[in-house]
């Protein structure tokens, strides 16, 4: 038997972060009290007609531009007919035949991934089971969705998740969606097939509504194994739709191909064809840098790859880093105090970056400038840093409060270090084999003698010169 090759395609549904819904003026806020953000259009009441959300269209165009797509200048919608309790109209307005963007691609780690199309549609209501009863929250019903359909081009779970993560970064960096899978803002369907010929797809199995990248990876790996076992035992893989069961860590059958619904697509009669040429021009002028461009900018700052990926994975952190570094202009110093110190402190307090008043970041910039200019040392900066977050004092007020000073005359430090060398000859002999231990001792002694007013970096530099001269 020839080796079986998995082929995977991905469909991403993301909720656009517009103020109102796709075809109504109801607020686009899904996490409000149940059934409070709805109106007659969302509920499909007789006589209620849809009206296209221009902001959602512009955001979809921005996404199409970021994915290097061909954009249709005529906006057209189709009607997808089916009955289910989460869709009160009995049909969904979507773009089956005329997607807003076609034939796109993104570059990730030197690999080009192709995207078939993106199209705009409306979301359905949220289904919740309470005490054994199915309840519906129509706040999400009618929310603006964009579906991003990849070509079947991935061959393992790792490659698929890399692609998904890059798409998520694009959505967040362009302020199109918050990309939070835990809130349902981003949902993923994957199609998995196995074949012994890379140019010929096997029987496709769809796994619906996976709500985390970890589960995406697990679902793909499980499905590859399930299909491999079936084929190896001489059985056929059935074309069907399955779901991922987090409890059993297995894919579970939902419906087979013979149970597939005939959606009877036709042109949506209540939405006219709209010329969006002007919106395309506007979107081009308003588009922000996408993660791949930002990655190159961060590389030019000589940041470590792990730091770059951390910034790309957290847009709020990236914005803070960029704002602070644009003023301080010392990337490594900013990394230490923003990505290491600040992140650690906020994580321990379970506070988000956006919850910190903007004034605090301005005060932090002042502290970093004092540190960079040698007005304070790193030990003093740690005290100031803590008080910046806990109080409303300025940096100068904190310095005055603690009577922080700096030993400006380097000769004073030279004399102290030379005296310590003379008194610790045996320790100095260990400098070649244990430099960090020796430097830590000398810095500690100098700081003790100067009551914390010496600069540790200057002290280490002087120590190295004096030891080298011995």
φ, ψ of residue 249 in degrees (nearest 5): 55, 45
Instruction: Give the pLDDT confidence score for residue 14 in this predicted structure.
Output: 97
How far apart, in whole angstroms, are the C-alpha atoms of residue 178 and residue 155? 28
Q: For residues 340 and 31, which has the higher predicted lDDT (pLDDT)?
A: 340
Please give the average per-residue pLDDT across 310-318, as a whole number: 95
Q: Tell me: the pLDDT tens digits for 104-134?
A: 999 988 899 999 999 999 999 998 888 889 9
Q: DSSP state, 247?
A: T
Residue 286 has pLDDT above 90, yes or no: no
Confidence label for 11 from pLDDT (cuts 50, 70 and 90): very high
Confidence label for 259 from pLDDT (cuts 50, 70 and 90): low
On whether the CB atoms of residues 54 and 16 are closer than 8 A, the answer is no
**Residue 448, class by beta-carbon neighbours within 10 Å (0-12 exposed, 13-18 middle, 19+ buried)?**
exposed
Spell out the residues 6+ positions from residue 282 whose beta carbon is closer than 8 angstroms to its own: 58
Confidence label for 5 from pLDDT (cuts 50, 70 and 90): very high
Please give the average per-residue pLDDT across 130-149, as a whole number: 94
Confidence label for 222 from pLDDT (cuts 50, 70 and 90): very high
Confidence label for 423 from pLDDT (cuts 50, 70 and 90): confident
Confidence label for 249 from pLDDT (cuts 50, 70 and 90): very high
Residue 258 has pLDDT above 90, yes or no: no
Tokens coding 252: 């579970």
Instruction: Give the pLDDT confidence score for residue 373 in this predicted structure.
Output: 84
Q: DSSP state, 42?
A: T
Task: Of 72-81, 334-343, 414-423, give the lowest mean pLDDT range.
Answer: 414-423
Please give the average per-residue pLDDT across 136-151, as a whole number: 96
How far apart, in whole angstroms, are the C-alpha atoms of residue 176 and residue 62? 8
Q: Tell me: the pLDDT tens digits for 199-220?
A: 889 999 999 989 899 999 999 9
Confidence label for 361 from pLDDT (cuts 50, 70 and 90): very high
Task: Of 12-21, 182-191, 458-467, give the lowest mean pLDDT range.
Answer: 458-467
Confidence label for 386 from pLDDT (cuts 50, 70 and 90): very high
Tokens coding 404: 């922080």
Spell out the residues 6+ positions from residue 447 whose beta carbon is closer than 8 angstroms to its own: 379, 454, 456, 459
Instruction: Give the pLDDT confidence score for residue 177 in this predicted structure.
Output: 96
Instruction: Give the pLDDT confidence score for residue 199 in this predicted structure.
Output: 81
- The packing angle between helices 358-372 and 315-328, to 10°, is 40
How far apart, in whole angstroms, are the C-alpha atoms of residue 208 and residue 190? 7
Instruction: Give the pLDDT confidence score for residue 75 in this predicted structure.
Output: 96
**Average pLDDT score over the chain:** 91
- CA angle 161-162-167, nearest 5°? 95
Tokens coding 55: 């902001």
b/e 294-322 (16+ beta carbons within 10 angstroms → b):
bbeebeebebeeebbebbbebbebbebbe
Instruction: Give the pLDDT confidence score for residue 457 in this predicted structure.
Output: 77
Q: Tell me: the pLDDT tens digits for 229-241?
A: 999 998 999 999 9
Instruction: Give the pLDDT confidence score for residue 1 in this predicted structure.
Output: 54
On whether the CB atoms of residues 80 and 91 are closer than 8 A, the answer is yes
Task: Of 44-53, 107-116, 434-443, give the lowest mean pLDDT range.
Answer: 434-443
Residues of the chain above pLDDT 70, percent: 97
How far apart, in whole angstroms, are the C-alpha atoms of residue 122 and residue 16? 10
Q: Which of 205, 210, 213, 63 has its CA nearest to residue 148?
A: 63
Instruction: Give the pLDDT confidence score for residue 188 in this predicted structure.
Output: 96
Please give the average per-residue pLDDT across 146-166, as a whole number: 96
Q: For residues 433 and 218, which has the higher predicted lDDT (pLDDT)?
A: 218
Please give the average per-residue pLDDT across 98-105, as a whole number: 96
Instruction: Give the pLDDT confidence score for residue 408 in this predicted structure.
Output: 65
Confidence label for 470 from pLDDT (cuts 50, 70 and 90): low
Q: For residues 391 and 407, which has the higher predicted lDDT (pLDDT)?
A: 391
Instruction: Give the pLDDT confidence score for residue 463 in this predicted structure.
Output: 86
Q: Element (H or E) spanning 408, and its range? A: none
Instruction: Give the pLDDT confidence score for residue 260 in this predicted structure.
Output: 62
Please give the average per-residue pLDDT across 35-55, as a whole number: 94
Please give the average per-residue pLDDT across 42-53, as a whole number: 94
Instruction: Give the pLDDT confidence score for residue 469 in this predicted structure.
Output: 64
DSSP 429-459: HTTTT-HHHHHHHHHHHHHHHTTT-S-HHHH
Tokens coding 7: 């082929």
Cα 189 to Cα 80, 209, 371, distances in angstroms = 19, 5, 50
Residues of the chain above pLDDT 90, percent: 67
Residue 192 has pLDDT above 80, yes or no: yes
Q: Is the pTM of this model over 0.75?
A: yes
Q: Could you give the 3-state DSSP secondary structure of residue 153?
A: coil
Question: CB-side exposure of 121: number of CA atoms within 13 Å?
Answer: 22
Confidence label for 160 from pLDDT (cuts 50, 70 and 90): very high
């Amino acid at each position: 038997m020839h080796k079986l090759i998995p082929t995977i395609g991905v469909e991403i549904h993301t909720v656009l972060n517009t103020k109102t819904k796709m075809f109504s003026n109801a607020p686009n806020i899904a996490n409000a009290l149940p059934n409070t953000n709805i109106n007659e259009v969302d509920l499909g009441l007789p006589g209620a007609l849809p009206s296209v959300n221009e902001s959602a269209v512009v955001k979809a165009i921005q996404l199409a531009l970021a994915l290097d797509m061909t954009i249709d200048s005529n906006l057209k919608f189709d009607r997808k007919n089916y009955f289910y309790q989460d869709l009160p109209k009995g049909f969904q307005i979507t773009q089956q035949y005329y997607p807003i963007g076609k034939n796109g691609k993104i570059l990730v780690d030197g690999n080009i991934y192709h995207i078939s199309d993106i199209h705009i549609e409306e979301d359905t209501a949220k289904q919740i089971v309470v005490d054994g009863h199915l309840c519906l929250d129509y706040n999400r019903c009618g929310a603006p969705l964009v579906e991003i359909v990849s070509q079947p081009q991935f061959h393992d779970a790792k490659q698929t998740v890399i692609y998904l993560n890059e798409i998520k970064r694009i959505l967040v960096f362009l302020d199109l969606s918050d990309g939070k899978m835990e809130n349902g803002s981003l949902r993923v369907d994957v199609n998995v097939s196995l074949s012994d010929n890379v140019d010929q797809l096997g029987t496709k199995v769809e796994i619906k509504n996976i709500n985390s990248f970890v589960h995406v990876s697990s679902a793909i790996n499980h499905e590859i194994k399930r299909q491999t076992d079936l084929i190896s035992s001489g059985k056929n893989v059935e074309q069907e739709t399955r779901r991922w069961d987090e409890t059993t860590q297995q894919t579970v059958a939902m419906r087979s191909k013979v149970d597939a619904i005939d959606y009877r697509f036709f042109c949506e009669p209540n939405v006219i064809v709209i010329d969006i040429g002007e919106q395309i021009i506007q979107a081009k002028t308003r588009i922000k840098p996408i993660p791949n461009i930002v990655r190159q900018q961060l590389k030019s700052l000589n940041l470590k790859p792990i730091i770059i990926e951390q910034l790309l994975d957290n847009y709020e952190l990236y914005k803070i880093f960029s704002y602070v570094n644009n003023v301080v202009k010392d990337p490594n110093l900013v990394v230490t105090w923003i990505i290491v110190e600040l992140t650690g402190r906020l994580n321990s307090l379970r506070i988000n970056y956006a919850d910190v008043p903007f004034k605090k970041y301005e005060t932090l910039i002042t502290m970093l400038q004092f540190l960079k200019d040698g007005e304070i040392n790193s030990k003093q900066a740690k005290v100031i840093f803590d008080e910046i977050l806990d109080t409303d004092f300025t940096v100068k007020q904190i310095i005055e409060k603690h009577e922080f000073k700096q030993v400006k005359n380097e000769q004073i430090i030279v004399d102290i270090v030379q005296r310590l060398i003379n008194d610790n000859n045996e320790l100095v002999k260990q400098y070649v084999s244990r430099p960090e231990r020796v430097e830590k001792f000398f810095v500690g002694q100098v700081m003790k003698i100067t009551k914390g007013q010496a600069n540790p970096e200057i002290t280490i530099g002087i120590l190295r010169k004096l030891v080298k001269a011995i």
